[in-house]
Amino acid sequence: MKLYDYPAGPNPRRVRIYLAEKGIDAPLVTVDLMKREQKAPEFLEKNPIGSIPVLELDDGTCISESVAICRYFEELHPEPPLFGRTPLERATIEMWLRRVELNFMMPVGMVWIHGHPLTARLVKQIPEAAEQNRKRVHLGYKLFDDQLATSEFVAGPDYTVVDAVLLASLDFANGLVGVPYDDGLTHLKRWHESVSSRPSAEA
């Protein structure tokens, strides 16, 4: 088994945080995105999308997409349950995973693509798209702050895969992308400080 990884990438970090919460060790193989190694023909055989993370099993089967990889490990190692215990918990977690992806990470990605110097050499940037999506990122922050006003973690009283996914996404937005949240979002700030203090956040 090999987990193809890139230390600075938010999506690989999601999986590393999740695995750390589960206490699972997986051998990591670094794929250098700056050198475009993920677009090399031999890597495209593992994942034709040319993205990471990718989990390669011992028989050569490859699983890509961060949440799909986490789900695979959840089936093998159900304790502690990070995808929920009951139908309602599982549905709630799925709902918030979708909200993180659609209402937050997608606009963060658009700001990254169309508004950051590092991506300028790779795509024809549309500055208006970056500006429009900055506003959407802040709407996402507000969505999470409202939820966390009455919930310790994003999907309920327990830490779940949603918290791992949001932490990696939020740190990417706050850091490299340069779209930080407002300190006035006190519930989001409380959550961020709490989950960042967990050992898994260092994974």
Buried b (16+ CB within 10 A) or exposed e, 66-83: bbebbeebbeeeeeebbb
> What whole-number distance in Å separates Cα of residue 192 and Cα of residue 196?
6
* Model confidence band, residue 117 (pLDDT cutoffs 50, 70, 90): confident
pLDDT of residue 153: 98
Tens digit of each residue's pLDDT (9 = 90 or more) over 123-177: 899 999 999 999 999 999 999 999 999 999 999 999 999 999 999 999 999 999 9
* Same domain? 64 vs 114: no
Question: Is residue 185 classed as helix, strand or coil in its secondary structure?
Answer: coil
Best CA proximity match to 52, nearest among 39, 35, 71: 39
pLDDT of residue 122: 78
**Helix intervals (H) in 32-86:** 41-44, 66-76
pLDDT of residue 88: 98
* Model confidence band, residue 121 (pLDDT cutoffs 50, 70, 90): confident
- Name the residue with tokens 């400080």: 193
Domain stops at, among 50, 76, 102: 76
Domain stops at, among 39, 55, 76: 76
65 is a domain residue: yes
8 A C-beta contact, residue 93 and residue 161: yes
pLDDT of residue 118: 82
**The Cα angle at residue 108 between residues 120 and 174, in degrees rounded to 5:** 95
Domain stops at, among 57, 76, 95: 76
114 is a domain residue: yes
pLDDT of residue 119: 86
> What whole-number distance in Å separates Cα of residue 15 and Cα of residue 13?
5
Tens digit of each residue's pLDDT (9 = 90 or more) over 2-40: 999 999 999 999 999 999 999 999 999 999 988 889 999
- Structural domain for 161, as ranges: 87-202
> What whole-number distance in Å separates Cα of residue 140 and Cα of residue 121?
28
Is 90 exceeded by the pLDDT of residue 1?
Answer: yes
* Same domain? 67 vs 121: no
Full-model pTM: 0.94
Tens digit of each residue's pLDDT (9 = 90 or more) over 192-201: 999 999 999 9
* Same domain? 165 vs 91: yes
Helix, strand, coil % in the chain, rounded to nearest 5: 60, 5, 35
- Name the residue with tokens 């994942």: 47
Mean pLDDT across the stretch 100-129?
91
Tens digit of each residue's pLDDT (9 = 90 or more) over 69-107: 999 999 999 999 999 999 999 999 999 999 999 999 999
> What whole-number distance in Å separates Cα of residue 147 and Cα of residue 167?
15
* Same domain? 71 vs 91: no
